[in-house]
């Protein structure tokens, strides 16, 4: 239900005047990624000690937030994240930020049904000649927030790329206040370096990707390596229906490898709900009719993902146990990120005609100078399961690839031990036998 009426006429005010509208106990929404406000945030930071019990909801903060930095003791404001960046993670470790567990594709419904009304929504947007605004390549759940916000404030930013799609324009009639922004450069997200392990994993995945596959690719070195190898493999008529648009996907598009010709939904269109990366990515998006920025309930819902044949989801995790559970969000009780769209794309890809889901990870990692296995008998205490063992399809490390669908627990354990680093296989085998995960006399 919409809580507020459209504004009679949007009023231009300063960032300080906008910040003066904030009262103690309010819920503010900074939206997310490259659309988070800067001028407003700095102005609010200057008066944060005058306020108390202020809650600021955000997603993937890409710059430090003054509302937090100007409140070092955390007595005045607290952040609530729907998906964490590195900055948000550091705040979480300091007790300054909390996470809301969710599937990313369900957030629009959360705003409409479960999340309390938002007192103020403040976001950056690009002014249009018709007096409205373009939000750039961050569609996600904007429409649902606007339906539930008591005040909508736009901070203008001409540096945002102009994204085409569904719901990427905001009529001025839906805006209450406008802040003239400073047009600071759009924040960039550097690409993780690609390692030899990443390339080894990518080579194994490559053998399973067919002409006409419709890709969802996550973020990180391994997905980047897959994109780089796809550019060399000559696979034809790739499509994209993804949550996050990354530099790797944009490079495939610029190379002419993404045509979308085999897609059942949005043929010829590269579909995504938000983008974060470097300037070449933003330049590729700007006014590009081949790219369609859509709401997250459209990009991530499994019943929509499955409608494209050969939906192919490629995502990373940090730990897998011998039954096939993937923990992608935490290191024990240390929170790392969020569920995001992983679980939904795993299910959507599996349900697609000819679809495949890949969860990839290096076999080991170093912690305090000690090499440890990412394939384990039991998940680390406190670890959060992101993809259940019932949902797991392909698992890939640098030592191999296995499809767990249809395999019993003993078969899974044997297969996953074979993907572990050789130094850990004997210990994993011993644990599996001691705890009867692999029964005595197991032969099939």
In angstroms, the CA 85 to CA 317 distance is 16
Note whether 234 and 349 are same-domain residues.
Answer: yes
Considering its fold, how many domains does the chain have in total? Answer: 2
Note the pLDDT of residue 444.
Answer: 61
Note whether 109 and 201 are same-domain residues.
Answer: no
- 46 exposed, middle or buried (CB, 10 Å; 0-12, 13-18, 19+)? middle
Contact 270, 247 (CB under 8 A): no
441's CB contacts (< 8 A; 6+ apart) are none
Q: What CATH number corresponds to the domain at position 51?
A: 3.40.1080.10
224 confidence band (pLDDT: 50, 70, 90): confident
Note the pLDDT of residue 218.
Answer: 85
Residue closest to 375 by CA, chosen among 397, 392, 404, 346? 397
234 in any annotated domain: yes
What average pLDDT does the chain have?
94
Note whether 203 and 172 are same-domain residues.
Answer: no
Name the CA dihedral angle for 237, 238, 239, 245, rounded to a multiple of 10 degrees: -140
Note whether 45 and 134 are same-domain residues.
Answer: yes
Note whether 350 and 424 are same-domain residues.
Answer: yes
Q: What CATH number corresponds to the domain at position 281?
A: 3.40.1080.20
Buried b / exposed e across 336-370, counting CB within 10 Å, b at 16+? bbbbbbbbbbbbbbbebeebbbbbbbbbbeeeeee
Note whether 51 and 87 are same-domain residues.
Answer: yes
110 in any annotated domain: yes
7 confidence band (pLDDT: 50, 70, 90): low
Note the pLDDT of residue 2.
Answer: 45
Q: Are strands 133-134 and 118-127 parallel, antiparallel or unpaired?
A: antiparallel
387 in any annotated domain: yes
200 in any annotated domain: yes
258 in any annotated domain: yes
The pLDDT of residue 261 is above 70: yes
221 confidence band (pLDDT: 50, 70, 90): confident
Note the pLDDT of residue 306.
Answer: 98
Note whether 117 and 239 are same-domain residues.
Answer: no
Model confidence over 93-106: pLDDT tens digits?
Answer: 999 999 999 999 99
Confirm whether 243 is a catalytic residue. Answer: yes
187 in any annotated domain: no
The pLDDT of residue 295 is above 50: yes
389 in any annotated domain: yes
Note whether 251 and 159 are same-domain residues.
Answer: no
Model confidence over 17-59: pLDDT tens digits?
Answer: 999 999 999 999 999 999 999 999 999 999 999 999 999 999 9
Q: What is the mean pLDDT of residues 157-185?
A: 95
Note whether 343 and 246 are same-domain residues.
Answer: yes
The pLDDT of residue 441 is above 80: no
Boundary-marking domain end, from 149, 179, 209? 179
In angstroms, the CA 379 to CA 119 distance is 40
Model confidence over 384-430: pLDDT tens digits?
Answer: 999 999 999 999 999 999 999 999 999 999 999 999 999 999 999 99
In angstroms, the CA 67 to CA 72 distance is 10
Note whether 163 and 251 are same-domain residues.
Answer: no
Residue closest to 126 by CA, chosen among 177, 44, 181? 181
- 444 exposed, middle or buried (CB, 10 Å; 0-12, 13-18, 19+)? exposed
Note whether 164 and 202 are same-domain residues.
Answer: no
Note whether 167 and 64 are same-domain residues.
Answer: yes
Contact 204, 361 (CB under 8 A): no
157 in any annotated domain: yes
Contact 307, 354 (CB under 8 A): no
Residue 314: beta bridge partners? Answer: 217, 358
What is the length of the chain?
444
Model confidence over 327-349: pLDDT tens digits?
Answer: 999 888 888 889 999 999 999 99
Of 106, 155, 174, 243, which is the active-site residue?
243
Q: Where are the alpha helices (DSSP H) in 246-397?
A: 247-254, 279-285, 296-300, 302-305, 342-351
In angstroms, the CA 76 to CA 78 distance is 7
Who has greater pLDDT, 140 or 440? 140
Flag whether the pTM goes above 0.85: yes
Q: Which of 128-132, 261-265, 307-311 has the lowest mean pLDDT?
A: 128-132
In angstroms, the CA 216 to CA 358 distance is 10
Boundary-marking domain end, from 145, 179, 213? 179
Contact 318, 83 (CB under 8 A): no
User: What is the DSSP track for 42-75?
Assistant: HHHHHTGGG--SEEEEEES--S--HHHHT-TT-S
Boundary-marking domain end, from 110, 145, 179? 179
Domain that holds residue 393: 196-434
């Amino acid at each position: 239900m919409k809580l507020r009426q459209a504004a009679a006429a949007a009023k231009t005010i300063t960032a300080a005047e906008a910040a003066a509208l904030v009262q103690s106990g309010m819920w503010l929404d900074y939206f997310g990624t490259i659309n988070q406000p800067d001028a407003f945030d700095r102005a609010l930071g200057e008066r944060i000690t005058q306020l108390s019990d202020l809650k600021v909801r955000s997603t993937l903060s890409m710059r430090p937030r003054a509302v937090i930095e100007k409140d070092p003791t955390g007595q005045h404001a607290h952040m609530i994240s729907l998906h964490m960046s590195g900055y948000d993670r550091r705040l979480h470790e300091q007790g300054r930020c909390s996470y809301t567990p969710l599937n990313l594709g369900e957030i629009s419904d959360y705003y409409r049904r479960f999340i309390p009304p938002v007192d103020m929504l403040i976001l950056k947007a690009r002014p249009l000649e018709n007096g409205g605004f373009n939000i750039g390549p961050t569609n996600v759940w904007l429409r649902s927030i606007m339906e539930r916000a008591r005040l909508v404030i736009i901070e203008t930013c001409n540096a945002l790329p102009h994204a085409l799609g569904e719901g990427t324009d905001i009529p001025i009639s839906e805006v209450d206040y406008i802040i003239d922004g400073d047009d600071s450069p759009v924040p960039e997200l550097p690409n993780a370096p690609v390692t030899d392990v990443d390339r080894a994993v990518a080579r194994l995945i490559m053998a399973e990707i067919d002409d006409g596959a419709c890709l969802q690719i996550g973020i990180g070195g391994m997905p980047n390596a897959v994109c780089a190898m796809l550019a060399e493999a000559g696979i034809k008529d790739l499509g994209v229906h993804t949550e996050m648009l990354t530099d790797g996907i944009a490079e495939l598009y610029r190379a002419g490898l993404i045509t979308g010709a085999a897609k059942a939904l949005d043929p010829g269109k590269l579909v995504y709900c938000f983008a974060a990366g470097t300037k070449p990515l933003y330049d590729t998006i700007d006014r590009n009719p081949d790219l369609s920025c859509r709401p997250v309930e459209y990009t991530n819902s499994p019943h929509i993902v499955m409608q494209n044949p050969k939906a192919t989801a490629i995502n990373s995790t940090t730990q897998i146990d011998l039954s096939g559970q993937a923990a992608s969000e935490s290191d024990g009780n240390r929170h790392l990120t969020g569920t995001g769209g992983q679980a939904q794309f795993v299910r959507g890809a599996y349900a697609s005609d000819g679809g495949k889901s890949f969860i990839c990870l290096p076999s080991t990692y170093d912690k305090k100078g000690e090499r440890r296995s990412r394939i384990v008998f039991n998940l680390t205490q406190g670890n959060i399961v992101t993809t259940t063992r019932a949902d797991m399809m392909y698992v890939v490390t640098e030592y191999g690839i296995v499809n767990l669908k249809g395999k019993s627990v003993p078969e899974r354990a044997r297969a996953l031990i074979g993907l572990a680093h050789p130094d850990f296989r004997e210990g994993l085998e011993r644990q599996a036998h001691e705890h009867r995960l692999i029964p005595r006399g197991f032969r099939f």
